[in-house]
Amino acid sequence: PVPADCREEQYPCTRLYSVHKPCKQCLNEICFYSLRRVYVINKEICVRTVCAHEELLRADLCRDKFSKCGVMATSGLCQSVGASCARSCGGC
């Protein structure tokens, strides 16, 4: 059960799996199979629980750590730090 101030959120996620794939090899008329390890990238939809109190805490930490993002956004200089702000706090 999800607490009252929380919600489940879907997001795209990528997982890497290791599998053994049979590979046929032939020498003249003699053929045999060997198992080779290959990696498969599987794009999935994952689910996470997001709670309001955690979002507020994350926003406070982000604001404290990256206060220049807010200052730059209000002063019209967002483009100069846009990339670093987007990575840290979701953009200007």
Beta-bridge partner residues of 34: 23
Residue whose structure tokens are 């990238």: 41
Q: What tens digit of pLDDT does each residue of 16-55 get?
A: 889 999 988 888 889 988 999 999 998 889 888 888 777 7
Does 84 reside within a domain? yes
Does 48 reside within a domain? yes
Domain residues for the domain of 61 are 6-89
Say yes or no to pLDDT of 80 above 80: no
Is 30:77 a contact under the CB 8 Å cutoff?
Answer: no
Does 1 reside within a domain? no
Does 72 reside within a domain? yes
Number of domains in the chain: 1
Which CA distances in Å does 53 have to 16, 24, 60, 68, 77?
32, 56, 11, 24, 31
